Structure 1
Amino acid sequence: MKTALLYSLIPVAAAVFAALAAIFLKGSGRLQSIVQHLASGVVFAAVALEITPDLMERHAPIPTAIGFIVAVLALLLLAKGEQGGDPRAGKGRLPRVYLCAIAIDLLLDGFVIGIGFLGGTRQGRLLTLALTLELVALGLALVGELQERSIPTWKSFGITAVISSLLILGTGIGVGLLSVAPAWAVTAALGFGEAALLYLVTEELLREAHEREDTSFTTATFFLGFLAILLADVVTR
C-alpha cells in the first residue's frame, strides 16, 4: 500500500506544477481550448479503456445501472441549481458541477492506481504514468476555468491542489478497501464514476472549449490525448 501511495504523489505533483504554470504563463483562449480538448481526450480514453471493460467483465447490470443513473441525476440537479437565479452570478462563484465531476474523476483515478499496484508493481507504475498526463491537462483546465469565473488567483491554485490530492485518497481506497468491499458496491461506484466522467467531457470540458477559439489543431488535441492513453494502455498489457 505504501508503494501505491508514494506513486500517487507523482500525478498530484504534476497537477500542482501545471496549475502554477497556468497562473504564471497566462495563455490565450486558443491555449485553453487546446488544454480542454486534450483533457477531454484523456478522460474519454480512461472511460473507454479502464472503466468500461472492468464493468463489462463484472456482468452485474443492476449495480452498474444504479450507480450510473444516480450519478446522472445528481449532476443534472447540481447543474440546474447552478443555472438558476441571475445569469450574471456565475462570476465569482465556484462551478460546483465541474468541481464535483473532477473530484469523482480523481478519486476513480486513484482507485485505478490502487488496483494496478494490487495487480503488480509494473502495471501500477505504467498506470501512474498514464494518469499523470491526465492530471496535467486537468490541472491546467481547472485553473483556467476558475480564473475565468474571476476566482482569485491563489484561491484557484489552492482549490486545484486540494482537489488533485483526492487522487491519493482514491489510491488508499483502492488498495485498502477493495478486499473488504462487496462486489456490488465496487460495481456501483464504477458505474457512478463512468457517468460522471462522461458528463465532465461532454457538458463541461468540450462545451467550454468550443466557446473559445476552435481550429482543426485544437480538435486534433482531443485525439492526441486519447491516443496517448491508448498507447499507454497497450504497453501495460
Structure 2
Amino acid sequence: MVLVQALSYTALAVVAALVGGVIAISYPPGPQMESNIQHFAAGVVIAAVAAELLPNIHDRAPRVVVLGFAIGVATMLGIHRLSKTIEKRDIGGQFAGAAGLLITVSIDMLIDGVLIGVTFLDNPDTGVIIAVALAIEVLFLGVAGVIALPRDIGVVKKLAVPTVFGLLLASGVTGGVLALDGVTGAPIAIILAFGSAALLYLVTEELLVKAGKVPETPVSTTLFFVGFLAIFLLDMLH
C-alpha cells in the first residue's frame, strides 16, 4: 500500500521530467528564464526541507543526525568531483559534453527516490510534500539535461534523458520502500538527515550557483519566495 501511494505521487515527478524535456526541445528557455526557474525550484526545495524533513529529525538522537548529514555532504561532494573528472576526461562519446551532468543527475535521482520512499514510510503526509517539491526540481532537471546535449542529437534520444531520470527516481522509491519497510529508529533518521543535506547541497551548490550567473532581477528574487511560500501553503492545506 505504501509503495503504491509513493509511486502514485512520484508519477508527478516522472511526468514533470518529460514535460521539462519537451519544453527544452520545443521552446528552449533563455538564460533569464532558466534563472527564474532555478530560483523558484530553490525556494520550493528549501521550504520542503525546513517544513518537512528537519522537524522530523529534530527530536532524534543528535549523533545519528550528524552522521546522516555528514554522509550526505560527503556523498554530494563525491558526486560533484565525479562529474568534474568525467568532464575533464571527455568521457561519453556522443554525449561527452553532457556526460558529467547526466551521470550526476542520474545518481541524484536515485537518492531522491529513496528519500521519497523513506518519507512515505516515516510519515505519508511528509512524503506527499517531498514528492511535490521534487517534482518541481525534476522539471528543471529535465530541461537542463536536454539543453546540455549536443544539438545534432535526435528528438528521441533527447527525450530518453528525462525518461531515464524519471525511471531512476521511481526505482529509488521502489528500492527504498521495499528495503526499509518495517525499519524504524536510527536507520530512518540517518536517511532523512542524509536527504536533508543532499537537498540543501543541491540548492546552494547547484540551483543558486547556476542562477547567480545571470544578473538578479526582482522577478527571479520574488519567484524564490513564491516557491518557498507555495510549499508552506501546501503543507498547511494538506
Fold match (TM-score > 0.5):
yes
Q: 1:92 aligned to 2:98?
A: yes
Call closer, same or farther: CA 1:82–1:11 in 2, change over 3 Å: closer
Matches within 5 A, 1:41-190: 41-57=43-59, 59-84=60-85, 89=90, 91-95=97-101, 96-117=103-124, 123=125, 128=128, 131-132=131-132, 134-148=134-148, 150=150, 152=153, 154-172=156-174, 176=178, 178-190=180-192
Unaligned stretches of 5+ in structure 2?
Answer: 91-95
For residues 176 and 74 of structure 2, what CA distance do their matches in structure 1 show? 25
Equivalent residues of 1:47, 1:194 under 8 A apart: yes
Distance, in Å, in 1 between the alignment partners of 2:130 and 2:67 is 29
The 5 Å alignment of 1:3-18 reads 3-4=4-5, 5-18=7-20
For residues 18 and 85 of structure 1, the distance between their equivalents in structure 2, rounded to whole angstroms, comes to: 25
C-alpha separation in 2, matches of 1:37 and 1:104: 22
Shift of 1:42: 1.0
1:24-43 alignment runs, 5 A limit: 24-43=26-45
Alpha-carbon spacing, 1:88–1:195, altered in 2? closer, same or farther (3 Å): same
Following the alignment from structure 1 to structure 2, what is the Cα–Cα distance between the partners of residues 149 and 179?
A: 38
User: 2:229 is matched with which residue: 209, 227, 230?
Assistant: 227
Contact 1:45–1:230, Cα closer than 8 Å, also in 2: yes
**Does 18-27 or 172-181 show the bigger shift?**
172-181
State the shift of 1:56 in Å: 0.8
- SS across alignment from 1:94: helix
Q: Where does the alignment leave 5 or more consecutive residues of structure 1 unmatched?
A: 118-122
Query: How far does residue 105 in structure 1 lie from its aligned partner after superposition?
Result: 2.7
Partner residue in 2 for 1:120:
none
Which deviations, in whole Å up to 9, do the C-alpha atoms of 1:174-193 show, x marking residues without a partner? 65555522411111111111
Q: How many pairs does the alignment contain?
A: 228
Partner-residue secondary structure (3-state), 2:221: helix
**Distance between the aligned counterparts of 1:208 and 1:54, measured in 2?**
30
